[in-house]
């Protein structure tokens, strides 16, 4: 059994995350992207695998021009036999170095910080008029949408939220993406930057909501 923890697996470092991901220790393999929630520069994706033999059996090619580097030794790892790349750079170095330099506790705190920011964003938006929290904060992500009273149709509301997200990105004060959940276009906020403060988060949300009111007022399809 494989689990795709590309985004979420690092929360297992925290107390809350360990509880949320209970059972993940039983999988046969787990992907994790240190270039996501372990704050590494692109790119360093990894897979943790319980039985190394499975990789070798899948990827080993042993062509004749590589016969001299066949280690022929079960104990040694030839990464060329563990994936689709033969020549590869030392991606693991940056992960190892930053763990050594900052320590696991710093990572734990930085991850907890991201989880907390999402919860704070949810609380803030629940108190902001004309906004709906569509999916509550979970693992540093939440989705919200602008839902002003008296807006005519779902299509109009969806269009407005799309425009709003575009405008936020265009102005450059935040990066939000959209997705569609059960027909609702929502904005997806991912709050895991370790340098973001609560104050900045509140400023950003207030600015998004101000912009929404401006766009909504100029909307061509009110009731």
Residues that bind ligand PLP (CB under 6 A): 4, 6-7, 33, 45
Is residue 46 within 8 A of residue 36, CB to CB? The reply is no
- Shortest Å, Cβ 188 to ligand PLP: 12
Distance CA 205, CA 211 (A): 10
Is residue 202 within 8 A of residue 189, CB to CB? The reply is no
- Shortest Å, Cβ 33 to ligand PLP: 5
- Shortest Å, Cβ 31 to ligand PLP: 7
- Shortest Å, Cβ 40 to ligand PLP: 11
Distance CA 150, CA 112 (A): 39
- Would you say 83 or 210 has its CB closer to ligand PLP? 83
CB atoms within 10 A of CB 17: 22
Q: Which two tokens stand for residue 129?
A: 């008029």
CB atoms within 10 A of CB 180: 11
- Would you say 192 or 208 has its CB closer to ligand PLP? 192
- Would you say 23 or 72 has its CB closer to ligand PLP? 23
- Would you say 36 or 209 has its CB closer to ligand PLP? 36
């Amino acid at each position: 059994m494989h689990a795709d923890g590309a985004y979420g697996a690092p929360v297992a470092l925290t107390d809350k995350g360990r509880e949320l991901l209970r059972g993940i220790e039983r999988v046969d393999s787990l992907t994790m992207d240190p270039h996501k929630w372990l704050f590494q520069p692109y790119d360093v994706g990894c897979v943790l695998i319980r039985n190394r033999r499975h990789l070798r059996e899948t990827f080993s090619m042993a062509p004749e021009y590589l016969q001299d580097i066949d280690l022929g030794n079960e104990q040694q790892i030839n990464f060329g036999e563990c994936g689709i790349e033969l020549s590869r750079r030392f991606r693991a170095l940056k992960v190892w170095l930053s763990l050594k330099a900052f320590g696991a506790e710093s990572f734990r705190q930085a991850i907890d910080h991201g989880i907390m920011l999402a919860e704070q964003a949810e609380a803030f938006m629940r108190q902001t008029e004309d906004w709906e929290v569509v999916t509550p904060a979970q693992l540093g992500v939440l989705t919200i949408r602008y839902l002003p009273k008296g807006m005519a149709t779902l299509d109009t509301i969806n269009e407005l939220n799309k425009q709003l997200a575009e405008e936020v990105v265009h102005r450059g004060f935040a990066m939000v993406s959209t997705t569609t959940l059960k027909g609702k276009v929502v904005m997806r906020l991912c709050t895991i930057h370790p340098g973001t403060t609560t104050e900045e988060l509140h400023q950003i949300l207030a600015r998004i909501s101000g912009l929404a009111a401006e766009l909504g007022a100029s909307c061509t399809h009110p009731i």
